[in-house]
Amino acid sequence: MCKVIAVGLSEWKEAERPDRLRTAGLGSCVGVVVYDDVAGRAAMAHVMLPDHHLARSSFHPAKFADTAVPGLVELLLKKGSAIENLKAKFAGGAEMFPRSGGNGQAIGARNITAVMEGLRRLNIPLIARDTGGNAGRTIEFDTVTSKLYIRTVKRGEKEI
């Protein structure tokens, strides 16, 4: 029997075949999945911000792209996955509200860049992503098929 494990804002969780991981409410946030399709296990984080130096008070490593990506990898390695079997998929990083002036990238774009940089630094291949735009997403990762199902507001569902 398949169980769906909910991943909340600024959390990470892991699952093994046949279970699934799901997170909702991805606006500028990014849902990152690092997975081992050989062992049938995965870990997902709901990332809010690109860099842990933006922390104002308590520090939650799943909240920040620069700490969540290595944290997901570490979770899977501790469970017995081999680094060479790890791959990644992610979605989110929308610009939910129009910006008025200001310098630099919107937070969604910064989250996307930070996740990609974290994966590159750890040599984790990025298999697919669905990012940007201006609509919220819900994602669900299937540990059996290694597919990431993405439901986008007013755009329906797709898989990557």
Kindly state the helix (H) or strand (E) to which residue 156 belongs, with its residue range: strand 156-159
Closest among 34, 117, 53, 52 to 61, alpha carbons compared: 52
Question: How far are the Cα atoms of 35, 39, 71, 77, 97 from residue 83, in angstroms, in the given order?
Answer: 10, 12, 13, 7, 38
| Cβ(40)–Cβ(143) below 8 Å | yes
| Local structure of 49: helix, strand or coil | strand
User: 107-121 vs 65-78: helix axis angle to the nearest 10?
Assistant: 40
* Active-site residue, from 7, 29, 68, 94: 29
Task: Give CA–CA dist 16/39, Å, rounded.
Answer: 8
Task: Give CA–CA dist 144/18, Å, rounded.
Answer: 6
Q: Does 29 qualify as catalytic in the annotation?
A: yes
For residue 46, give the amino acid letter: H
- Residues with a known catalytic role: 29
